[in-house]
Chain A
Amino acid sequence: MTEERILQAPLKTKDIEKLTCGDKVMLNGTIYTARDAAHKRLIQLLEDGKPLPFDIKDQIIYYVGPTPEKPGEVIGSAGPTTSGRMDPYTPRLLDAGLKGMIGKGQRSKEVIEAIVRNKSIYFAATGGASVLLAKSIKKLKIIAYKDLGTEAIREIYVENFPCIVAIDFRGRDLYEKGPEKYQIL
C-alpha cells in the first residue's frame, strides 16, 4: 500500500490516471454535496435540457446529509451516506462531466462502466467517522435546494479530507478486490 497522496479538486484527468484502487488520498479544494433528493432534481434538469445549479465539469460530489451545525461550527457531523442509492442517477451525471464521487459502499455495474467510460473515480470515506471527517471541511455555502434542508446542495472547501480510492479509472474495484484478498474459504 502506498503512502497518502495529496489530491486537488476539481479533478484533472492526469491526476486520476495516477491513482489506483486502494490508494489513500488527502483531498483538497472545492467539492459539492448531494444525496437522494438533490440527485433526483439534477437529473430532472438534465432531462429538461436546463442548466445545473453548478458547473459539474471535473467536479466531485460528496454523498452526505450533515447534522445541523451548532452556532460557531462550519458544518455539523458529516460522514458519507450509502452511495448505492445514487446508482440510478450516477451514470447520467458522469456523462455530463462529473469526475469523482465520495461515499460508502459498493457501486453497480452500470456505475463502474460509466466511471471507465468517463475516466472518473470513486472514493470511499469511513462511514460513521463523521466528526473526524467534518474537521476537514473548512468552508460551506448552500448553493441550491435550500428547501431540502440536510439534502441541499452545499459547496464545501476541504483540506486534507481522508478517503480511499475504491474504484479507479480502469474500473478496478476495492469492494471486490479487498474482500477477495482477505476471505478464508
Chain B
Amino acid sequence: MREVNASEITNIVKQLCIENNINLDKDVTEKIIEFEKKEDSPIGKQILEQILINAKLATEENRPMCQDTGIAVIFVELGQDVHISKDNFYDAINEGVKRGYTQGYLRKSVVEDPVFDRKNTKDNTPAIIHTDIIPGDKIKITVASKGAGSENMSEIKMLKPADGIDGVKDFILDRVKRSGGMPCPPIIVGVGIGGNFEQCAYLSKKALLRPLNTRNPDTRWDTVEKELLTRINQLGIGPIGLGGRTTALAVQILTMPCHIASLPVAVNLQCHAHRHKTATI
C-alpha cells in the first residue's frame, strides 16, 4: 500500500487547471496549422491565424487563451494500492480547483442551483469528477477545462439498433450542422456509442482525450472517423461558422457493449480551445 498525502493531489490539480488554460497542446496547434494551409476561405484563413497567434500570446504572456476557462472536468485513474491520507479525496481535488481558479486569475463560471438563483459559487467548484479504480499504486489525474459554448451544442440520442451505422453518422452530422458557429469551430467531435444512457455521454467526453495525432485502434471505426471528418468539413461551416473548409479538426469515437435493444449515441463537441492535461502521482 502506497501512501499519498491529499495535499499532493490538491497541488497537482491546481497546477493542471492553470497550465491547461494558458498552454494549448502541440497536437492541437499542429492540426490547426495543417488545416490553415488548406483553407480556401480568406476570412476562414485569417481566423485560423488569429487562433494560432492567440495561443502563442497566451503562452508568452501567461494569460488564459480563452475567457471561458470552463468547468473543471477531472478524470482520475486511482491505483487500488494507494492509500490517500490526511484529507478526503474529493475535497482535495476541489481544493485544487479552487486554488487554481483563484490564484491563476481564471474565470469562475459555476453556479449553485442550475435553475433558481444561479448564484456563482465564486471559486469554480464543484468540479465534475470521474474516478476509475485501476490496478497499481499510481494516481493519474487529467484535468479538462470545458467551456460552455461547445458543451451546450452536445446531444445524446437513443437510436434503434435498426438505424445502424447510417443512423449513427446522420445523427453526428446533423448535430454538427445545427451547431453552426456556436461551438467556436474548428471543433473536435467526441462521440460515444453504446453503453447505456449515462455511460454513452461519458464515453463521448472521454473520446476527446485521445491525442489528435492518433488513430482509432479499431480499423472499422477509424474508417468511420475519417469519413465523418471529410463530410463534416464539406458542410462549409468553417472557422467560427463564417464559411470555409475547416469545421472540424478530428472526429474521435469510443464504443462499448450495449443492451440487445439499444443503440445510444452521444456527441460531445469541443472547441479549438481544447484544454486537457495529465499528471501522474
Contacts and interface: CB of A to CB of B under 8 A. Distances in A.
Contacts of B41: 178, 181-182
B254 interface: no
B243 A181 contact: yes
Classify the interface of chain B: helix, strand, loop or mixed. loop
B236 A79 contact: no
A82 B238 contact: no
A183 B233 CA distance: 8
Contacts of A84: 182
A115 interface: no
Given A104-B184, A106-B181, A175-B181, A130 B64 contact: yes
Instruction: Using C-beta atoms within 8 Å of the partner chain, give the interface range for chain A.
Output: 35 or more
Interface-central residue, B51, B66, B118, B235, by most chain A CB under 10 Å: B66
B67 A164 contact: no
A180 B236 contact: yes
Interface stretch (A53-61, A93-101, A121-129): A121-129
Contact of A67 (B67, B239, B242): B67
A175 B66 contact: no
B50 A129 contact: yes
A184 B237 CA distance: 11
B53 interface: yes
Contacts of A78: 67
A174 B44 CA distance: 12
B184 A178 contact: no
B181 A131 contact: no
Given A182-B245, A183-B235, A184-B234, A77 B182 contact: no
Interface residues of B, number: 51
Interface in B53-107: 53-54, 57-58, 61, 63-69, 105-107
B152 interface: yes
B241 A105 contact: yes
Contacts of B263: none
Contacts of A1: 42-43
B241 A79 contact: no
Given A76-B67, A175-B242, A65 B105 contact: no
B64 A177 contact: no
Interface in A55-85: 64-70, 76-79, 81-82, 84
A90 to B, nearest CB: 15
B192 interface: no
B64 to A, nearest CB: 5
B67 A79 contact: yes
A152 to B, nearest CB: 12
Interface of B: 40-44, 46-47, 50-51, 53-54, 57-58, 61, 63-69, 105-109, 118, 120, 122, 148-149, 152, 180-182, 184, 234-245, 271-273
17 contacts: A65-B68, A67-B63, A76-B67, A79-B67, A79-B68, A106-B181, A126-B47, A127-B184, A127-B271, A128-B273, A129-B51, A131-B58, A178-B41, A178-B241, A179-B235, A182-B238, A185-B234
